[in-house]
Chains A and B, each alone.
Chain A
């Protein structure tokens, strides 16, 4: 075998090994959660709030955290969406491709992306103090929105960049304004990708503990008031893992399983919703 073919084989091998490593890690995480989580899973985990002494091994469940995380995740994703969409439409429809301002916005988003979530938590907390808020659902929504905004925007931005310039030109040639072209053509073309971006952000937001620890607080009760503390799954997992009791630690794995399933459920739902629009996408 000559050198060039050997090279090819070697790098192909590397690619396969890397891909398998990633896949195996995912599998191991899922298996680990399931092995430890399924035995600790019970109907009570899903349908009850923690009873007194839950963290010492007594009865109850994490319904408070399931409801809290779902509400917080959905609200934060929506809030972030309403800021991300205008930004990416501005970047991709209004600003010219090589403009300095668009490069600057993208750079800012990349920097924001890299900021650790605990910093968003701390920043959110400072904001809350300024407005005189206590740890609350609202505080959590604000901190998580800030955390996922750059993720969502950048992911959407990459999708919108792929929209062929000819599509916009075609729309303009028919006498539409930029806004009409953006809303009627660009959004339709990139809808599946936009939803994926929103989902990535949702997954990131619902799974983050550091940004909610000061801002959303925790509560053993279900409360949907914007101004009361709210429980979240990542913190429920954190508190359960932090106890010295093995049976409570196992319940942390059951909670992780619930969190993972919640994300899978939302992903599948969104895929089903976008399937209809996918067929219209122009390749």
Chain B
């Protein structure tokens, strides 16, 4: 598998107070592929994901060192504006998080912040991205209703559309299907497979079968350390580390 790296992580260390969440993490995320971060609960998967858009700085008493290069630029350096990095990356969290406004305003939220004011232009963006996530037909007659009235599965697709509306290059998914029913989960997975032609996608999951369905590239984290990372077939068929083999077989979890 040949690829161009979109994100390169170099010696990333993250501490919450006295606890170390990530230890000398080195990994890459290939461009326009789906990278899946796997590993047991509490091993730092979400921390790694949230380092990519610097959401970890919101946590209390957090310290980090190392580099994360996005398109060759270290986003952890203090002179980089977090808002600029975050605009490049859409985030889909574990639980759908509709904002307290209408369906339309949810999707238009990002574009409005980033300076688009014309109603016509916003209409076009909202329609385009709701179609992109396959929600348009379901919500077209009720765009002015509160987003919280949608079903959980619809809410998660709305959140995806909202993230895409700021025209990111990268989509980050933090166990994006864990709150969803099987049917809604499948729709999200299908969307990811469609979207990988246009976006770089990073998904955190602890569901191995989901990882196998989605992954082009895998990063295996175990208690804050990257045990192994590489193309999916290699990790799943022929891992080089005993720990990876055991995790994939389900001996450790």
Query: Which residues from chain A sit less than 8 Å from chain B, CB to CB?
Result: 96-98, 164, 166-177, 180, 184-185, 188-189, 279-283
CB distance from B147 to the nearest CB of A (A): 8
Residue B99 contacts which of A98, A171, A175, A177 (CB distance < 8 angstroms)?
A171
Q: Do A174 and B95 touch (CB < 8 A)?
A: no
Q: Do A174 and B109 touch (CB < 8 A)?
A: yes
Contact count band on B: 20 to 34
Residue A173 contacts which of B61, B89, B114, B147 (CB distance < 8 angstroms)?
B89
Do A174 and B166 contact each other (CB < 8 Å), given the known contacts A169-B93, A180-B113?
A: yes
Do A173 and B100 contact each other (CB < 8 Å), given the known contacts A96-B60, A98-B60, A282-B148?
A: no
Determine the chain A residues whose CB is within 8 A of the CB of B53 once the complex forms: 173
CA distance A172 to B82 in the complex (A): 9
Query: Which residues from chain B sit less than 8 Å from chain A, CB to CB?
Result: 53, 55, 58, 60-61, 82-84, 86-87, 89-91, 93, 95, 97-102, 109-110, 113-114, 146-148, 159, 162-163, 166
Residue A170 contacts which of B83, B97, B146 (CB distance < 8 angstroms)?
B97
Q: Do B87 and A280 touch (CB < 8 A)?
A: no
CA distance A172 to B86 in the complex (A): 7
Determine the chain B residues whose CB is within 8 A of the CB of A169 once the complex forms: 55, 58, 91, 93, 97
Looking at B99, B102, B113, B148, the one whose CB has the most chain A CB atoms below 10 A away is B99
Give 7 new A-B contacts, CB below 8 A, not counting A167-B97, A172-B58. Answer: A171-B109, A174-B87, A174-B110, A174-B113, A174-B163, A175-B114, A185-B100
Determine the chain B residues whose CB is within 8 A of the CB of A282 once the complex forms: 97-100, 147-148
Identify the closest chain A residue to B62 (Cβ): A96
Residue A166 contacts which of B86, B87, B95 (CB distance < 8 angstroms)?
B95
Determine the chain A residues whose CB is within 8 A of the CB of B99 once the complex forms: 167, 170-171, 185, 188, 282
CA distance A281 to B149 in the complex (A): 10
Determine the chain B residues whose CB is within 8 A of the CB of A281 once the complex forms: 100, 148
